[in-house]
Amino acid sequence: MSSAEQKKDASKGKGKGGPKGGRKGREQYIRKRQKLNFKTQTESRREARSKGPWKGVFRDPVKLYLRGVMMGYRRSRLNQHFNRSLIKIEDVKSKEDAKYYLGHKVLYIYRAVSKKDPRTGKSVLRVIPGKITSTHGNNGTVRVRFSPNLPTRAFGKRVRVMMWPHRAPN
């Protein structure tokens, strides 16, 4: 391609490709970015309820559990204690907040690898239950005893921290 043809192509707007190249492409890119509206899970659920059978009902459904993340096992520099898992509960930021959840049940739910439901064809759901035994550190992490112990593939996965059974505050 000669330099004259390259200049001709550049003048037509073919010189810079991609979503950010050229003036017209840049405007389309900005317009697409402005359409994205990130919502919290609560906001998206409320919006969904305004359309379906919950239309006009202003209360939230009863909250049965909080989400948490399995961070790893309790450990020192050399040893890991597999019978204690560290769980970070969402919206719990301090040791005092975490003390509220002592004694609560925790559920790790996963799909079985081999066993399938004959009707649906999906893998069967399995549950490993646990109990919050103590806090860990100062930022709201808790120690949980699962029986059987959680597998290492659960690191970084979601768990459910149930809102019951609850000890009455003294």
**In the predicted structure, residue 58 carries a pLDDT above the cut 90:** no
147 with 130: CB under 8 angstroms?
Answer: yes
CA–CA separation, 13 and 17 (whole Å): 8
In this structure, what token pair is assigned to residue 72?
A: 């790893």
CA–CA separation, 88 and 67 (whole Å): 9
- What's residue 99's pLDDT? 94
pLDDT digits (tens, 9 = 90+) for 73-123: 999 999 999 999 999 999 999 999 999 999 999 999 999 988 998 888 899
In this structure, what token pair is assigned to residue 68?
A: 């948490």
User: In this structure, how many other beta carbons lie within 10 angstroms of the beta carbon of residue 158?
Assistant: 13
pLDDT digits (tens, 9 = 90+) for 10-38: 555 554 555 555 566 777 666 665 655 66
Burial class (CB in 10 A: 0-12, 13-18, 19+), 162: middle
**Residue of higher predicted confidence among 9 and 135:** 135
149 with 82: CB under 8 angstroms?
Answer: yes
- What's residue 47's pLDDT? 73
Most distant CA pair in the chain: distance in Å?
85
- What's residue 170's pLDDT? 47
Contact partners, residue 133, CB within 8 Å, separation at least 6: 84, 102, 142, 143, 144, 145
pLDDT digits (tens, 9 = 90+) for 113-157: 889 988 888 999 999 999 999 999 999 999 999 999 999 999 999
Mean pLDDT value across residues 35-64: 68
